[in-house]
């Protein structure tokens, strides 16, 4: 049986892209379960009684918390370090990086030779 490698890769990309949206659905489900678990507490009763006030406030708090987490991640460089580590394990990206390094070395050698020729012409 012949496997279409390009189709498998395309499907993997589709699955990877869908993870973000599945995460939103998962978040909604967790909030629903959380609210169901606290509905018999004082806080839960307050949230249910004042749902039109509670939802915007909770949404604003969630967005603020998400922005703070994103800011901390950017400041600490956690995501960029993770991407750097993943890139170093990818053979295609490492080949591209090695090719760029080799081109830079060759460029430096060519610049040195041009400067030598320029010095000889003076």
Report DSSP state, residue 50: T
10 pLDDT band (50/70/90 cuts)? confident
- For residues 47 and 35, the answer to whether their CB atoms sit within 8 Å is yes
Which H/E stretch holds residue 77?
none
pLDDT digit string, tens, across residues 81-113 = 877 777 777 788 788 888 999 999 999 899 999
Rounded to two decimals, the pTM is 0.49
The domain spans of the chain are 1-38, 42-76, 78-122
pLDDT digit string, tens, across residues 30-88 = 988 987 888 888 888 888 888 899 889 988 998 999 899 888 888 888 878 877 777 77
């Amino acid at each position: 049986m012949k496997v279409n490698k390009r189709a498998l890769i395309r499907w993997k990309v589709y699955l990877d892209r869908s993870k973000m949206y599945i995460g939103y659905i998962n978040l909604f489900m967790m909030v629903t379960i959380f609210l169901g678990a606290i509905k018999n507490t004082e806080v839960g009763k307050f949230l249910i009684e004042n749902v039109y006030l509670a939802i915007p406030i909770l949404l604003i708090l969630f967005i603020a918390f998400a922005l703070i987490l994103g800011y901390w991640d950017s400041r600490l460089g956690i995501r960029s370090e993770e991407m750097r580590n993943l890139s170093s394990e990818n053979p295609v990206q490492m080949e591209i990086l090695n090719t760029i390094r080799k081109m830079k070395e060759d460029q430096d050698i060519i610049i040195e030779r041009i400067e030598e020729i320029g010095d000889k012409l003076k």
